[in-house]
Amino acid sequence: MKKLIQIHIEEACEECKLSIEVIRKFILEEWIKPSDPEELLFDQEDLARIHLILELQDDFGVNDEAVPIILQLLDQLHSLRGTVSRLNR
């Protein structure tokens, strides 16, 4: 079993080249949910989601109102893929 690596918000900011305020906004908007909300720890999945949000905004020009809609659709797609994969086993 893989050991889950978690980093603090300051390290996440450095990794993603963002300010703490931006990451806190993402948390407040519930676009990301830290793997440990009490300690504000982030795992690789959280960092990937932050990068996805930045890509949506910077590369595709997605506005703040559309981000949660796109994230929800991607989450549903991911869930459905998992379901189909389990059914095909």
Query: Which residue type sits at 39?
Result: E
- Rg of the chain in Å (alpha carbons): 14
On whether residue 1 sits in a domain, the answer given is no
Structurally, the chain folds into a number of domains equal to 1
> Per-residue pLDDT for the chain (89 aa), expressed as one digit of tens each?
455 789 999 999 999 999 999 999 999 999 999 989 999 999 999 999 999 999 999 999 999 999 999 999 999 999 999 999 999 98
Enter the tokens of residue 68.
């949660």
Tell me which residue range forms the domain holding 47.
7-87
Domain-embedded: residue 35: yes
Residue 15, in any domain of the structure: yes
What pTM did the predictor assign?
Answer: 0.88
Check which CATH number belongs to the domain holding 45 and give it: 1.10.1660.10
For the chain, the 3-state helix, strand and coil shares in percent, each to the nearest 5, are: 60, 5, 35
Q: Which has the closest alpha carbon to 37: 27, 47, 45? A: 27
What's residue 3's pLDDT? 59
Tell me whether residue 2 is in a domain. Answer: no
